[in-house]
Structure 1
Amino acid sequence: MASEMVEDLWLFGYGSLIWKPPPHFDLRVPGYVEGYVRRFWQASEDHRGTPEAPGRVVTLIDRSHWETLTDQHSDAPPTTWGAAYRIPARHVAEVREYLDIREINGYSIQYTPFHVSKTYAASHELPAPIDCLVYVGLPDNPQFMGPQDLQGLAEHIVKSRGPSGENKDYLYGLDQALIELGEGSEDEHVHDLARRCREVESRACGNIGKQADSHGPGSRLQRVGSTDEQEEIEK
């Protein structure tokens, strides 16, 4: 009996995967998904916090569920921007195993249509839309925090850190990476939290505005060649 043909895998990143991509990808495509809202409502015990003091990272929330919740950021764009990565078939088993291990802290596998940005699509031939795997922290997972006070959330992010580094660097990196994806890709929830965190830092160090131009790690794509080299995978 012939073995089953393994196809290329498409993976959608909406958090640090935007600038810290998975190993072995051969194509990175900017674009968006529909029907979700991105929020810093997922606790992180393994990357940006510890079990004793969890940090906060993003997850995707089904828009119909989000509309039933009370959120201080009461508006959200109809699209959630990020980056899709193509993993060649020969590396799919290795990367899937690695991702599944690294994403066990509350995330589950979903599939969603990914729409390539118009600017990128104009010069590249790609399927429309692309069926992408995405890791989502569903509302019933134990790390899902739900709506939170924005100022309290910002203060929590500033003081949190874990094996992958400062929680605030994750936020600043995501904010900058979204801006760099192209027109319309900014996220007000992320941007407002970044602004609040910088204000918290400035007050703490007694130097108002010192952090205003800090972009975090999002300004440079950090590419690795294997799962052994990869520091972290966060959505």
Structure 2
Amino acid sequence: MTDTSVDAQSSTAAEGASTAYQGALLERFRAHIAGQDLWVFGYASLLWRPEFEAQEQYITRVWGWHRALKMWSRLNRGSPECPGLVFALLPGGSCQGVVYRVDRQQADEVLVRLWAREMPMDVYTPCWLPCQTPEGTVKALAFTLPRTSPSFTGHLPAETYRHIFQNASGRFGTTLDYARQTYESLLAHGIEDRALAAVLRHAN
């Protein structure tokens, strides 16, 4: 057997294991909401493109996580030749966003669609985060990113942001449009993100 064949078999095995793990993880999340409403925490594109109907939504804040434009995107907002960026929830600090309630009758369908949207590349780490609402504290689905992930950019200098804002584009558009849409949506919800405003100044 050639080395290429061994590599191909190893790659196929790894992909199969990842797919099995993701399937099992999704089933655990589906079991968690069985017969219940689904709450979802939106902090970036879910603010302006949720793609599901929510029965209620509230401005809220999660603690222990913050929004950051520090996740590589080589398909949606960039390319392998010129990687773009997308937002992630990173450990530390706090993050204002919107928590949505999906009725229990649609909860499972929406969860599966959200999973297909956010988890196709097996990058985010989904989890349940506590969010305050007028009804009390709820556990909301959120997509986070560990700093150990290869998709985490680490610190990016101003010139890197400028280059990405000027050049990175993928199948869903440019990194700059994505970042600006998120910032404008945050403002429309009455949320000020000074860190994001500072990053966007590199586009000028």
**Superposition deviation, residue 141 in structure 1:** 2.3
Q: 1:46 aligns with which of 75, 82, 86?
A: 75
Q: 2:110 aligns with which of 77, 82, 95?
A: 95
Alignment of 1:1-235 (within 5 A): 5-63=34-92, 78-104=93-119, 105=121, 106-116=123-133, 126-182=134-190, 185-197=191-203, 199=204
Greater fraction of residues in strand: 2
Aligned match of 1:231: none
Alignment partners' CA distance in 2, 1:157 and 1:114: 32
1:209-228 CA distance string (max 9 Å, x none): xxxxxxxxxxxxxxxxxxxx
Deviates more, 1:37-46 or 1:9-18: 37-46
Answer yes or no: is the 8 Å Cα contact 2:65–2:94 preserved in 1. Answer: yes
TM norm structure 1: 0.67
**Superposition deviation, residue 98 in structure 1:** 1.6
Helix, strand or coil: the match of 1:35?
Answer: strand
- Size of the aligned set, in residue pairs, is 171
CA RMSD of aligned residues (A): 2.0
Alignment partners' CA distance in 2, 1:93 and 1:36: 26
Aligned match of 1:209: none
**Superposition deviation, residue 173 in structure 1:** 0.9
Q: Which runs of 4+ in 1 moved over 3 A?
A: none
Percent identical among aligned pairs is 26
Answer yes or no: is the 8 Å Cα contact 2:161–2:202 preserved in 1. Answer: no
Answer yes or no: is the 8 Å Cα contact 2:129–2:141 preserved in 1. Answer: yes
Alignment partners' CA distance in 1, 2:199 and 2:34: 45
Amino acid at match of 2:102: I
**Superposition deviation, residue 5 in structure 1:** 4.7
Residues 94 and 46 of structure 1, relative CA distance in 2, 3 Å threshold:
farther
**Superposition deviation, residue 128 in structure 1:** 2.0
TM norm structure 2: 0.76
Amino acid at match of 2:114: L
1:60-84 CA distance string (max 9 Å, x none): 1111xxxxxxxxxxxxxx5311111
Alignment partners' CA distance in 2, 1:47 and 1:26: 29
Greater fraction of residues in helix: 2
Higher normalized contact order (CA 8 Å, seq sep 6+, divided by chain length): 1
Alignment partners' CA distance in 2, 1:163 and 1:54: 12
Alignment partners' CA distance in 2, 1:20 and 1:92: 18
Residues 52 and 101 of structure 1, relative CA distance in 2, 3 Å threshold:
farther
1:38-96 CA distance string (max 9 Å, x none): 21110112321234432101111111xxxxxxxxxxxxxx5311111111112122221
Amino acid at match of 1:87: V
Answer yes or no: is the 8 Å Cα contact 1:154–1:193 preserved in 2. Answer: no
Answer yes or no: is the 8 Å Cα contact 2:34–2:108 preserved in 1. Answer: no
